[in-house]
């Protein structure tokens, strides 16, 4: 958990692309081992950027012109290819990202009790950096 805290502090001080990417990598490392969890980083128009254990997924939603249905497409992008404006939002929304990580760890702890400790430590990182 020390790595998460250090990467967060570095990101808040430097705010450069590399420090933000390192923070995202630390968050990825702590996500529960399930495809059911993805942290919403931001929404830009019809695109939603989601961080999961494998990296970044861009989900594009569109409403059908003639039917009242939404359709979604997704595309996986390399974490190094995340647009700069999205990375800027990571720096601003770090608490929301860690809140989601903590909540997922609590939820997954029903299957694996060690994730209660992860949730507690993420909470500590949040309070330490407010």
Predicted local distance difference test score (pLDDT) of residue 66: 67
Distance CA 118, CA 69 (A): 38
Q: Containing domain of residue 102, as a range? A: 2-128
For 81, residues 6+ apart whose C-beta sits below 8 A from its C-beta are 56
Of 129 and 71, more confident: 129
Distance CA 44, CA 35 (A): 23
Tens-digit pLDDT profile for residues 70-119 = 788 999 999 999 999 999 999 999 999 999 999 999 999 999 999 999 99
> Average pLDDT in the 35-54 region?
94
- Number of domain units in the chain: 1
State the pTM of this model. 0.91
Compute the half-sphere exposure of residue 104: CA atoms within 13 Å on the CB side of its CA.
22
């Amino acid at each position: 958990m020390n790595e998460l805290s250090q990467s967060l502090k570095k990101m808040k001080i430097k705010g450069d692309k590399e420090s933000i990417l390192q923070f995202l990598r630390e968050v990825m490392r702590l996500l529960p081992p399930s495809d059911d969890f993805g942290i919403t980083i931001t929404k830009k128009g019809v695109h939603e950027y989601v961080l999961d254990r494998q990296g970044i997924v861009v989900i594009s939603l569109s409403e059908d012109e003639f039917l009242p249905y939404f359709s979604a497409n997704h595309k996986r992008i390399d974490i190094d290819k995340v647009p700069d404006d999205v990375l800027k939002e990571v720096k601003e929304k770090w608490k929301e990202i860690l809140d989601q990580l903590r909540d997922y760890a609590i939820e997954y702890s029903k299957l694996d009790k060690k994730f209660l400790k992860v949730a507690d430590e993420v909470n500590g990182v949040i309070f330490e950096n407010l």
